[in-house]
Amino acid sequence: MSNLDAAFSALADPTRRAILARLALGEATVMELAEPFEMTQPAISRHLKVLEGAGLILRRVEGTKRPCRLAPAAVAEIDQWLGMLRKALSANYNRLDDVLAAMKTEE
């Protein structure tokens, strides 16, 4: 699985996006991350494994705890890929027939 596959796939789940949003506020342990969800701890552990596999989070060992933090790499890769779409979209927007067709389709 390419990194982009893993990263986009990881982001497709709302629980995982919520976990990332929580981590955007700062480091947190597994239990702290699990607390807001109506879901068992093993389920959260698996979500974290997916996020780690996608390069979206990093973990350290601190005694019996495994604090998680956001990782920079995957977001950069995603941004780079999306850049291609952004560029194409802004270029297309200057073509008259495209604009007219878009206006019709978007009701």
Partner DNA sequence: AAGTTATATAACAACGTTATTATATAACCG
Partner DNA sequence: CGGTTATATAATAACGTTGTTATATAACTT
Q: Which of residues 3-22 bind a second copy (CB under 8 A)?
A: 4-5, 8-9, 11-14, 17, 20-21
Minimum CB separation from DNA for residue 94, in Å?
25
Backbone angles phi, psi at 85, to 5 degrees: -65, -45
Residue type, 57: I
- What is the x/- site pattern for a second copy, positions 33-52, by CB under 8 A? --------------------
DSSP secondary structure code for residue 65 in this structure: B
Minimum CB separation from DNA for residue 104, in Å?
17
Toward DNA, which CB reaches closer, 50 or 75? 50
Minimum CB separation from DNA for residue 87, in Å?
25
What is the distance of C-alpha 27 from the center of its chain?
16
Distances (CA, A) of 14 to 5, 7, 10, 25, 84: 17, 14, 9, 17, 25
